[in-house]
Copies of this chain bind each other. A is one copy, B any other.
Amino acid sequence: MNPSNFLYIKAIRRQPLERTPIWMMRQAGRYLPEYRALRAKHDFLTMCKTPELAAEVTLQPIRRFGLDAAILFSDILVIPEAMGQTLTFREKEGPRLEAPLRSEADLQNLTLNGLEEKLNYVARAVRLIRSELNGRTPLIGFSGSPFTLATYMVEGKPSKNFRFIKELVFRQPQFLKTVLSILSEAVVRYLQMQIDAGAQAIQIFDTWGGILPPHLFMEFSGKWMSQIVEKLKPGGVPVTLFSKGGIAPFRLLLDSGADVLGVDWMTDIKEAKELARGAVALQGNLDPTALYGSPEIIKEEVRTILETFAGQSGHVFNLGHGILPDIPLDNVYYLVEQVREISSRLQLK
Protein backbone atom coordinates (compact mmCIF):
# COMPACT_ATOMS: atom_id res chain seq x y z
CA MET A 1 0.00 0.00 0.00
CA ASN A 2 1.12 3.54 -0.65
CA PRO A 3 2.10 4.73 2.86
CA SER A 4 -0.09 7.80 2.51
CA ASN A 5 -3.12 5.51 2.37
CA PHE A 6 -2.53 4.04 5.82
CA LEU A 7 -5.26 5.11 8.24
CA TYR A 8 -2.54 5.86 10.81
CA ILE A 9 -0.76 8.25 8.44
CA LYS A 10 -3.99 9.84 7.25
CA ALA A 11 -5.06 10.51 10.85
CA ILE A 12 -1.70 12.17 11.55
CA ARG A 13 -2.08 14.32 8.43
CA ARG A 14 -5.63 15.18 9.55
CA GLN A 15 -7.13 13.82 6.33
CA PRO A 16 -10.63 12.33 6.04
CA LEU A 17 -10.87 8.86 7.57
CA GLU A 18 -13.41 6.04 7.40
CA ARG A 19 -12.64 5.25 11.06
CA THR A 20 -10.07 6.03 13.78
CA PRO A 21 -6.85 4.00 13.61
CA ILE A 22 -5.80 2.15 16.77
CA TRP A 23 -2.56 0.76 18.11
CA MET A 24 -1.51 0.23 21.72
CA MET A 25 1.68 1.19 23.46
CA ARG A 26 3.51 -2.01 24.49
CA GLN A 27 1.20 -3.99 22.18
CA ALA A 28 4.03 -6.46 21.52
CA GLY A 29 4.31 -7.76 25.04
CA ARG A 30 3.51 -9.99 27.95
CA TYR A 31 -0.29 -9.80 27.85
CA LEU A 32 -0.10 -11.98 24.69
CA PRO A 33 0.17 -15.76 25.27
CA GLU A 34 2.21 -16.13 22.04
CA TYR A 35 4.67 -13.55 23.41
CA ARG A 36 4.99 -15.41 26.71
CA ALA A 37 5.56 -18.68 24.84
CA LEU A 38 8.49 -17.17 22.94
CA ARG A 39 9.78 -15.39 26.01
CA ALA A 40 9.86 -18.69 27.91
CA LYS A 41 12.54 -19.83 25.44
CA HIS A 42 14.61 -16.64 25.13
CA ASP A 43 15.63 -13.93 27.54
CA PHE A 44 14.31 -10.43 26.93
CA LEU A 45 17.53 -8.92 25.62
CA THR A 46 18.13 -11.84 23.26
CA MET A 47 14.67 -11.19 21.85
CA CYS A 48 15.56 -7.53 21.29
CA LYS A 49 18.88 -8.42 19.66
CA THR A 50 17.74 -11.22 17.37
CA PRO A 51 16.07 -9.64 14.34
CA GLU A 52 13.97 -12.73 13.59
CA LEU A 53 12.60 -12.83 17.16
CA ALA A 54 12.08 -9.06 17.35
CA ALA A 55 10.23 -9.22 14.04
CA GLU A 56 8.07 -12.14 15.16
CA VAL A 57 7.09 -10.37 18.38
CA THR A 58 6.39 -7.11 16.53
CA LEU A 59 3.98 -8.95 14.25
CA GLN A 60 2.12 -10.92 16.92
CA PRO A 61 -0.41 -8.20 17.88
CA ILE A 62 -0.91 -7.27 14.21
CA ARG A 63 -1.85 -10.85 13.36
CA ARG A 64 -4.14 -11.21 16.36
CA PHE A 65 -5.97 -7.88 16.31
CA GLY A 66 -5.22 -6.36 12.90
CA LEU A 67 -4.04 -3.17 14.58
CA ASP A 68 -3.45 -0.14 12.38
CA ALA A 69 0.24 0.29 13.14
CA ALA A 70 3.06 -2.04 14.15
CA ILE A 71 5.71 -0.77 16.55
CA LEU A 72 9.19 -2.19 16.57
CA PHE A 73 9.79 -4.60 19.47
CA SER A 74 12.87 -3.33 21.28
CA ASP A 75 13.85 -1.54 24.48
CA ILE A 76 14.82 2.09 24.93
CA LEU A 77 17.90 1.01 26.92
CA VAL A 78 19.69 -0.49 23.92
CA ILE A 79 21.22 2.99 23.42
CA PRO A 80 22.94 3.14 26.84
CA GLU A 81 24.06 -0.44 26.29
CA ALA A 82 25.56 0.43 22.92
CA MET A 83 27.30 3.39 24.59
CA GLY A 84 29.02 1.06 27.06
CA GLN A 85 26.74 0.48 30.08
CA THR A 86 26.00 -3.16 30.89
CA LEU A 87 22.26 -3.80 30.70
CA THR A 88 20.47 -6.60 32.51
CA PHE A 89 16.82 -7.38 33.13
CA ARG A 90 15.95 -9.09 36.39
CA GLU A 91 12.67 -10.86 36.95
CA LYS A 92 10.16 -8.57 38.70
CA GLU A 93 12.82 -5.90 39.25
CA GLY A 94 13.00 -4.18 35.92
CA PRO A 95 16.10 -3.07 34.02
CA ARG A 96 19.47 -2.40 35.52
CA LEU A 97 22.37 -0.45 34.03
CA GLU A 98 25.65 -1.24 35.75
CA ALA A 99 28.09 1.55 36.64
CA PRO A 100 25.50 4.34 36.77
CA LEU A 101 26.49 7.67 35.23
CA ARG A 102 26.94 10.10 38.10
CA SER A 103 29.93 12.31 37.27
CA GLU A 104 32.11 13.67 34.48
CA ALA A 105 34.55 10.84 35.12
CA ASP A 106 31.84 8.25 34.42
CA LEU A 107 31.36 9.81 30.99
CA GLN A 108 34.81 8.55 29.98
CA ASN A 109 33.44 5.01 29.94
CA LEU A 110 30.75 5.88 27.40
CA THR A 111 31.11 6.44 23.67
CA LEU A 112 29.02 7.15 20.58
CA ASN A 113 31.65 5.54 18.36
CA GLY A 114 30.21 2.83 16.19
CA LEU A 115 26.70 3.37 17.57
CA GLU A 116 25.00 2.35 14.31
CA GLU A 117 27.15 -0.77 13.94
CA LYS A 118 26.41 -1.84 17.50
CA LEU A 119 22.69 -1.25 16.97
CA ASN A 120 22.64 -2.80 13.54
CA TYR A 121 20.43 -5.61 14.85
CA VAL A 122 17.66 -3.02 15.16
CA ALA A 123 18.07 -1.94 11.53
CA ARG A 124 17.95 -5.59 10.49
CA ALA A 125 14.79 -6.14 12.53
CA VAL A 126 13.17 -3.09 10.91
CA ARG A 127 13.97 -4.38 7.42
CA LEU A 128 12.66 -7.82 8.28
CA ILE A 129 9.43 -6.44 9.75
CA ARG A 130 8.84 -4.20 6.76
CA SER A 131 9.31 -7.14 4.47
CA GLU A 132 6.91 -9.32 6.48
CA LEU A 133 4.31 -6.55 6.81
CA ASN A 134 4.54 -6.28 3.05
CA GLY A 135 2.88 -2.88 2.87
CA ARG A 136 -0.25 -3.90 4.77
CA THR A 137 0.50 -2.01 8.03
CA PRO A 138 2.84 0.90 8.74
CA LEU A 139 5.82 0.39 11.06
CA ILE A 140 6.65 2.82 13.88
CA GLY A 141 10.25 3.04 15.10
CA PHE A 142 11.04 4.55 18.48
CA SER A 143 13.53 5.80 21.03
CA GLY A 144 13.51 7.05 24.59
CA SER A 145 13.90 10.81 25.02
CA PRO A 146 17.30 12.12 26.08
CA PHE A 147 16.02 12.96 29.59
CA THR A 148 14.41 9.55 29.98
CA LEU A 149 17.58 7.77 28.86
CA ALA A 150 19.63 9.98 31.20
CA THR A 151 17.28 9.09 34.07
CA TYR A 152 17.86 5.37 33.58
CA MET A 153 21.62 5.83 33.03
CA VAL A 154 22.05 7.99 36.14
CA GLU A 155 19.76 6.02 38.46
CA GLY A 156 21.00 2.65 37.23
CA LYS A 157 17.92 0.83 38.49
CA PRO A 158 14.22 1.50 39.07
CA SER A 159 13.92 4.39 41.46
CA LYS A 160 11.14 5.75 43.62
CA ASN A 161 12.31 9.29 44.26
CA PHE A 162 14.74 9.73 41.36
CA ARG A 163 17.32 10.92 43.82
CA PHE A 164 20.36 10.90 41.54
CA ILE A 165 18.94 12.43 38.38
CA LYS A 166 17.19 15.09 40.47
CA GLU A 167 20.42 15.80 42.29
CA LEU A 168 22.00 16.53 38.90
CA VAL A 169 19.07 18.80 37.96
CA PHE A 170 19.41 20.80 41.16
CA ARG A 171 23.16 20.57 41.76
CA GLN A 172 24.98 19.96 38.46
CA PRO A 173 22.67 21.21 35.72
CA GLN A 174 25.55 21.97 33.36
CA PHE A 175 26.90 18.45 33.57
CA LEU A 176 23.41 17.05 32.99
CA LYS A 177 23.07 19.23 29.91
CA THR A 178 26.33 17.82 28.57
CA VAL A 179 24.86 14.35 29.04
CA LEU A 180 21.57 15.37 27.37
CA SER A 181 23.46 16.81 24.42
CA ILE A 182 25.37 13.55 23.91
CA LEU A 183 22.18 11.53 24.23
CA SER A 184 20.40 13.79 21.75
CA GLU A 185 23.06 12.99 19.18
CA ALA A 186 22.69 9.30 19.96
CA VAL A 187 18.89 9.45 19.58
CA VAL A 188 19.08 11.32 16.25
CA ARG A 189 21.57 8.81 14.83
CA TYR A 190 19.56 5.86 16.16
CA LEU A 191 16.26 7.13 14.78
CA GLN A 192 17.82 8.08 11.44
CA MET A 193 19.12 4.53 11.21
CA GLN A 194 15.62 3.20 11.82
CA ILE A 195 14.15 5.54 9.20
CA ASP A 196 16.81 4.55 6.70
CA ALA A 197 16.00 0.90 7.36
CA GLY A 198 12.32 1.52 6.70
CA ALA A 199 10.55 2.87 9.81
CA GLN A 200 7.59 4.86 8.45
CA ALA A 201 6.95 6.89 11.59
CA ILE A 202 8.79 7.59 14.85
CA GLN A 203 7.67 7.87 18.45
CA ILE A 204 9.84 9.32 21.21
CA PHE A 205 8.92 8.04 24.65
CA ASP A 206 9.55 10.60 27.39
CA THR A 207 8.57 8.36 30.26
CA TRP A 208 10.28 10.49 32.90
CA GLY A 209 10.02 14.09 31.67
CA GLY A 210 7.02 14.46 33.98
CA ILE A 211 9.18 14.07 37.09
CA LEU A 212 10.53 17.55 36.32
CA PRO A 213 8.64 20.51 37.74
CA PRO A 214 6.92 22.24 34.79
CA HIS A 215 9.23 25.27 34.92
CA LEU A 216 12.21 22.98 34.28
CA PHE A 217 10.57 20.61 31.79
CA MET A 218 11.63 22.36 28.59
CA GLU A 219 15.18 23.00 29.78
CA PHE A 220 15.88 19.36 30.61
CA SER A 221 13.48 17.39 28.44
CA GLY A 222 11.25 19.26 25.96
CA LYS A 223 13.97 21.32 24.30
CA TRP A 224 16.05 18.25 23.46
CA MET A 225 13.12 16.41 21.94
CA SER A 226 12.22 19.45 19.90
CA GLN A 227 15.79 19.58 18.53
CA ILE A 228 15.56 15.92 17.56
CA VAL A 229 12.28 16.52 15.70
CA GLU A 230 13.96 19.37 13.82
CA LYS A 231 16.96 17.23 12.86
CA LEU A 232 14.80 14.34 11.68
CA LYS A 233 12.58 16.54 9.49
CA PRO A 234 14.52 15.90 6.29
CA GLY A 235 13.61 12.20 6.85
CA GLY A 236 10.00 13.19 6.23
CA VAL A 237 8.38 10.61 8.52
CA PRO A 238 5.89 11.79 11.13
CA VAL A 239 7.16 12.05 14.70
CA THR A 240 5.09 11.52 17.85
CA LEU A 241 6.27 12.87 21.21
CA PHE A 242 4.84 11.24 24.29
CA SER A 243 5.64 12.75 27.67
CA LYS A 244 3.97 11.13 30.64
CA GLY A 245 2.92 13.64 33.27
CA GLY A 246 -0.48 15.16 32.59
CA ILE A 247 -1.43 18.37 30.87
CA ALA A 248 1.67 20.37 31.91
CA PRO A 249 4.25 18.67 29.65
CA PHE A 250 1.61 18.26 26.93
CA ARG A 251 1.04 22.00 26.80
CA LEU A 252 4.74 22.75 26.74
CA LEU A 253 5.23 20.45 23.73
CA LEU A 254 2.58 22.09 21.55
CA ASP A 255 5.26 24.13 19.76
CA SER A 256 7.82 21.33 19.65
CA GLY A 257 7.39 20.73 15.93
CA ALA A 258 6.07 17.19 16.54
CA ASP A 259 3.41 15.90 14.14
CA VAL A 260 1.59 14.06 16.93
CA LEU A 261 1.46 14.50 20.70
CA GLY A 262 0.73 11.50 22.88
CA VAL A 263 -1.87 12.17 25.56
CA ASP A 264 -1.52 10.21 28.80
CA TRP A 265 -4.48 9.06 30.86
CA MET A 266 -3.89 11.77 33.47
CA THR A 267 -4.80 14.36 30.85
CA ASP A 268 -8.34 15.35 29.90
CA ILE A 269 -8.36 14.67 26.17
CA LYS A 270 -11.00 17.36 25.60
CA GLU A 271 -8.65 19.93 27.08
CA ALA A 272 -5.77 18.52 25.03
CA LYS A 273 -7.85 18.87 21.87
CA GLU A 274 -8.78 22.46 22.66
CA LEU A 275 -5.15 23.34 23.32
CA ALA A 276 -3.97 21.65 20.13
CA ARG A 277 -6.41 23.71 17.99
CA GLY A 278 -6.01 21.29 15.12
CA ALA A 279 -2.35 22.24 14.66
CA VAL A 280 -1.03 18.88 15.81
CA ALA A 281 -2.59 15.39 15.78
CA LEU A 282 -3.31 13.64 19.09
CA GLN A 283 -2.80 10.08 20.20
CA GLY A 284 -4.39 8.46 23.23
CA ASN A 285 -5.64 8.23 25.90
CA LEU A 286 -7.61 5.38 27.48
CA ASP A 287 -6.52 4.62 31.05
CA PRO A 288 -4.69 1.28 30.63
CA THR A 289 -6.41 0.02 33.80
CA ALA A 290 -9.82 0.61 32.20
CA LEU A 291 -9.08 -2.70 30.43
CA TYR A 292 -9.60 -4.42 33.80
CA GLY A 293 -13.13 -3.03 33.59
CA SER A 294 -16.53 -4.29 32.48
CA PRO A 295 -17.51 -4.16 28.78
CA GLU A 296 -20.13 -1.47 29.51
CA ILE A 297 -17.60 0.83 31.15
CA ILE A 298 -14.87 0.14 28.58
CA LYS A 299 -17.35 1.09 25.88
CA GLU A 300 -18.36 4.26 27.71
CA GLU A 301 -14.72 5.31 28.16
CA VAL A 302 -13.89 4.58 24.51
CA ARG A 303 -16.92 6.51 23.34
CA THR A 304 -16.01 9.54 25.45
CA ILE A 305 -12.57 9.67 23.86
CA LEU A 306 -13.71 9.07 20.30
CA GLU A 307 -16.60 11.52 20.45
CA THR A 308 -14.17 14.27 21.40
CA PHE A 309 -13.06 14.09 17.78
CA ALA A 310 -16.46 13.63 16.13
CA GLY A 311 -16.49 15.18 12.68
CA GLN A 312 -12.74 15.75 12.71
CA SER A 313 -9.68 13.79 11.68
CA GLY A 314 -6.40 14.08 13.63
CA HIS A 315 -6.77 11.39 16.28
CA VAL A 316 -4.99 8.05 16.68
CA PHE A 317 -6.61 5.87 19.34
CA ASN A 318 -4.20 4.47 21.90
CA LEU A 319 -3.92 3.84 25.62
CA GLY A 320 -2.67 6.61 27.87
CA HIS A 321 0.29 4.38 28.78
CA GLY A 322 1.53 0.87 27.92
CA ILE A 323 -0.88 -2.07 28.09
CA LEU A 324 -0.46 -3.99 31.36
CA PRO A 325 0.73 -7.61 31.38
CA ASP A 326 -2.36 -9.07 33.07
CA ILE A 327 -5.06 -7.48 30.92
CA PRO A 328 -7.66 -10.07 29.78
CA LEU A 329 -7.37 -10.68 26.04
CA ASP A 330 -11.15 -10.58 25.64
CA ASN A 331 -11.12 -6.97 26.73
CA VAL A 332 -8.51 -6.12 24.11
CA TYR A 333 -10.63 -7.70 21.36
CA TYR A 334 -13.60 -5.78 22.67
CA LEU A 335 -11.65 -2.51 22.74
CA VAL A 336 -10.46 -2.87 19.16
CA GLU A 337 -13.95 -3.76 17.98
CA GLN A 338 -15.55 -0.84 19.80
CA VAL A 339 -13.01 1.70 18.52
CA ARG A 340 -13.76 0.55 14.97
CA GLU A 341 -17.50 0.44 15.40
CA ILE A 342 -17.97 3.72 17.22
CA SER A 343 -15.47 5.71 15.18
CA SER A 344 -16.87 4.55 11.86
CA ARG A 345 -19.98 6.60 12.65
CA LEU A 346 -18.12 9.80 13.52
CA GLN A 347 -17.59 11.29 10.02
CA LEU A 348 -13.91 12.08 10.49
CA LYS A 349 -13.11 14.82 7.96
Contact = CB atoms under 8 A, between A and B. Distances in A.
Task: Determine which residue in A210, A214, A320, A324 has the highest number of CB atoms from chain B within 10 A of its CB, and name it.
Answer: A214
Contact of A246 (B247, B304, B320): B247
Interface in A55-83: none
Interface size class of A (residues with CB under 8 A): 35 or more
Given A214-B268, A266-B214, A171 B248 contact: no
Contact of A213 (B171, B287, B326): B287
B247 A294 contact: no
Given A245-B266, A268-B248, A297-B173, A292 B166 contact: yes
A289 interface: yes
Contacts of A173: 297
Contacts of A210: 266
A267 B214 contact: yes
B246 A170 contact: no
A298 interface: yes
Interface of A: 161-163, 166-167, 169-171, 173, 210, 213-215, 245-248, 265-268, 271, 287-290, 292-294, 297-298, 301, 304, 320, 324, 326
Contacts of A161: 288-289, 324
Contacts of A301: 170
A162 B289 contact: yes
A247 B246 CA distance: 8
Given A166-B292, A213-B265, 14 more contacts: A161-B324, A163-B324, A166-B289, A166-B290, A170-B293, A170-B297, A171-B293, A213-B266, A213-B268, A213-B287, A214-B267, A215-B304, A245-B246, A247-B248
Contacts of A166: 287, 289-290, 292
Contact of A266 (B246, B265, B268): B246
Contacts of A324: 161, 163
27 contacts: A163-B292, A166-B287, A166-B289, A166-B290, A167-B289, A167-B292, A167-B293, A169-B289, A169-B293, A170-B290, A170-B294, A170-B298, A171-B292, A173-B297, A213-B265, A213-B266, A213-B287, A214-B267, A214-B271, A215-B304, A245-B246, A245-B266, A246-B247, A246-B248, A247-B248, A248-B266, A248-B267
Nearest to A161: B324
Given A215-B304, A267-B214, A326 B293 contact: no
A258 to B, nearest CB: 21
B292 A170 contact: yes
Contacts of A326: 163
Contacts of A167: 289, 292-293
Nearest to A292: B167
